[in-house]
Amino acid sequence: MNPALAALLLGAGCIALSPIFVRLSEAGPTATAFWRVALAVPALWIFYLAREQGGRARAGAGKWPLLLLAGAAFAGDLGFWHLSIELTSVANSTLLANLASIFVTLGAWVFLRQKPSGMFLAGLAAALAGVVLLVRSSVEFSGTALLGDALGVLTAMFYAGYIFAVKGLRDRGEGALRLMAVTSTVTAVLLLPVALASGEQFLPATAMGWATLLGLALISHAAGQGLIAYALAHLRAAFSSVALLLQPVMASLFAWLLLAEALAPLQLAGAVIVLLGIYLARKGSD
């Protein structure tokens, strides 16, 4: 398998654990979003400085605006998505957040003149249909959580912006480690005052609460987003956003294994269709 594709899929698997970490968090949704990046920042900087031996890879001219944009977009993505999880079902928020693949495909078509092939569009449609089947049992309840669903759509828009910014940085030669360290710092700085002003529970009450946040920071953020940042240097943004639809498949699997949430036959069929869609999108993007 292509190493970049393997990294992308592994990154999606790491991110798929985030809804479980968020649900188990003892802090409020915005505070959890802050700790998600804040606890990862020291590890990212230490790893980057040790790996680069004093910073051999420097951000050149023109990269700082994109670095700041990526950090701001990710702050919006995390903030709105964590609130969405609290206001609507995990399935709904995951489904709507993954509409980012549509926004990325449209953006690549309009702004980058990367017209998608028929096979790619078929793969995108199949993958989205599979996600709908995967979470169909929870979609019925979204009528009572319209605000949470709307925040899920906003999450998708911000994540699409983040993917474009990261792709632009990687295409300009920005290293994945430095990118993650800088953008995570920007995201944490932006989320801190919002979390403090929200009046939510800011600190976890137990050691298990801190362990949950640490897992969210190191597994879902540092490892997951770091692998995705690496992959975006070698894969098209539109295909990458479709491949990330593996996330709700893995999230359902983890919920089954860790939270004893059984998977219905319709959900299993949806998972298979998502994988088929990713395969078709891959073939259509070659």
Read off the pLDDT of residues 179-226 as tens digits, 9 standing for 90 and up: 999 999 999 999 999 999 988 899 999 999 999 999 999 999 999 888
Output the pLDDT for position 285: 55
Closest CA to 179 of 132, 229, 140, 215: 229
Angle CA 241–242–248, to nearest 5: 95
Read off the pLDDT of residues 161-175 as tens digits, 9 standing for 90 and up: 998 888 888 888 888
pTM: predicted TM-score of the whole model, two decimal places: 0.78
Read off the pLDDT of residues 125-174 as tens digits, 9 standing for 90 and up: 777 777 677 665 555 544 545 677 778 888 888 988 998 888 888 888 88
- The CA distance from 218 to 222, in Å, is 5
Helix, coil or strand: residue 260 = coil
Spatial neighbors of 105 by CB under 8 A, at least 6 apart, are 116, 120, 121, 124, 238, 241, 242
Output the pLDDT for position 55: 47
Output the pLDDT for position 284: 60
Read off the pLDDT of residues 63-77 as tens digits, 9 standing for 90 and up: 888 899 999 999 999
- The CA distance from 30 to 188, in Å, is 11
